[in-house]
Amino acid sequence: MRGSGVKLLGALLVIGGAAALGHLEAVRREKRARELAAVITALELLESHVVYGQVLLADALRRVGEAQPGAGWAFLRAAERLEEGWPASRALRESFSAWAARSALLESDLAPLVHLAPVLGLSEGGDQARHLRWARSQLEVKLAGARQRLPEVARLCKALGVCGGLILALLLY
């Protein structure tokens, strides 16, 4: 009697754990889409400060960081590094890498930002606008992919978690 009770508890734990994993994956996918959208908005803001406002890069990054929660963390960090005298490319790369570690973005999502780092700030306004728009367009493609059937995929992750847990529990039982 006690043995079957323990088995049942174990099965419930397996099912619960697998369901939680499925739920976490669904949340991560939703968060990734939100973060990609936030970076795109941040780059739009940055373009307006750089191209139209002619604001120095450190100030522009700070303004973007303050206006944009979430993705803003990376921009604020880059502004701080620039003010400490880091070259822009190093400051941006380091800040985006640090942010990636705490965000839901994939490494490949950062590629447009890594390409942007060595050229940001180092040419005239028109050229900067072209680089920023290119990075944005790349991120928009990724966002479109991430949003594609996102509700269904999220539901599927959750369902797979529960079903996977059930199957595993049955196999172990």
Number of helices (H) and strands (E) in the chain: give both, helices first. 7, 0
Is the distance from CB of 43 to CB of 136 less than 8 angstroms? yes
Tokens for 108, please give them.
Answer: 């490949």
Considering only residues 84, 107, 124, 152, which one is a binding residue for another protein as defined by CB under 8 A? 124
Whichever of 18 and 132 has its CB closer to another protein, that residue is 132
Shortest distance, position 61 Cβ to another protein, whole Å: 10
Instruction: Tell me if 56 contacts another protein by CB under 8 A.
Output: yes
H-helix or E-strand containing 27? Answer: helix 2-47
Shortest distance, position 113 Cβ to another protein, whole Å: 15
Number of amino acids touching another protein (CB under 8 A): 20
Whichever of 14 and 61 has its CB closer to another protein, that residue is 61
Whichever of 89 and 138 has its CB closer to another protein, that residue is 89
Angstrom distance (rounded) from CA 118 to CA 155:
40
Angstrom distance (rounded) from CA 68 to CA 41:
8
Question: Given the rule CB under 8 A, which residues bind another protein?
Answer: 50-51, 54-58, 82, 85, 87-89, 120-125, 127-128
